[in-house]
Amino acid sequence: MVNIVLIMNAGSLSLHKISAMKASILLKFFVFLPLIIFVDYLLMAFIGCTSCLFSLGDGFYCGPFCLAGKIILVLSSIFFGYLIYPDIKAIIKAKKHGASA
């Protein structure tokens, strides 16, 4: 039986943490962001279909519908920023206090 000994220096652990944080950011950009955008699309489609059901005219689409879309977009942007802020902060902190070679 062969024993494998892994020797790690101080920098390799921090590099592993940084790559894990980058993977987390990539996951959020390629999974959560499209999911948030899709939910926004479904909400706007639901609002549009509901307004058509109640036979609201062009005045609705040029006024309250656009306002609702902007509010949903801003809330989604704030939510995505809330999701990604800790990862970006951790990467900046890790680079700021990085180990020397």
Model pLDDT for residues 60-95, shown as the tens digit of each residue = 888 999 999 999 999 999 999 999 999 888 888 877
Locate 87 and state its tokens.
Answer: 């990862």
User: How confident is the model at residue 57, as a pLDDT?
Assistant: 83
Average pLDDT over residues 29-53: 95
CA distances from 59 to 20, 41, 47, 51, 54 (A): 49, 21, 14, 11, 13
16 pLDDT above the threshold of 60: yes
User: How confident is the model at residue 93, as a pLDDT?
Assistant: 84
DSSP summary character for residue 63: T
Average pLDDT over the chain, rounded to whole? 83
User: How confident is the model at residue 96, as a pLDDT?
Assistant: 77
